[in-house]
Amino acid sequence: MQLQAETKHTEQSEFVSFTVAGQAFCLQITQIREIRRWSPVTVLPHAPADVLGVMNLRGAVIPIYDLSARFGLQQTEASERNVVIVVSVNDKPVGLLAEAVSEIISIDPDDIQETPQVDSRNTMDFIQGIISQNDEMVRIINLKAVISSPEQVAL
């Protein structure tokens, strides 16, 4: 459903850009359900480093991932200034910790560049394209790859 909407959206795509570990990333605006201020989460025992824990989103328990750790960068020191981007993966809400939200980028899909070949499998999987914005490189996150399946990640 959502995918269809995304592919039909050929004229102008809108992305929300944010920083993770000092690097600029973005997600398609239609993928994002809401953006919340960081508040301490409940730690899950035996969870991998990139799973910060779970959060109460209006009565629902949602997992929170540290994007930075997920990308193999250093762990984010979560603070009040950080944000949790709530996205929907496989119809389930998932929270992603980012340092800060920057802006909304409107771009012609044709201007999205392919990810150049680099020597990291993870990076290739997680980044599905690159946008050049004000001479800065903004990486488009492949959400499905980052959060393949909640169960899989936790195990």
Interacting residues toward other proteins by CB under 8 A: 40-49, 51, 53-56, 59-63, 92, 150-155
Nearest approach, Cβ of 51 to other proteins (angstroms)?
7
Residue 5, token pair as written in the block: 């909407």
Provide the minimum distance between the beta carbon of 34 and other proteins in the complex, in angstroms, as a whole number. Answer: 16
Measured from the CB atom, the residue of 16 and 41 that comes closer to other proteins is: 41
* Tally of CB atoms within 10 A around 50: 18
Write down the residue that tokens 């020191």 correspond to.
77
Which ranges in the chain belong to alpha helices (H)?
2-8, 67-70, 121-126, 143-146, 150-154
Least separation in angstroms between residue 134's CB and other proteins is: 37
- Residue with Cβ nearer other proteins (100 or 154): 154
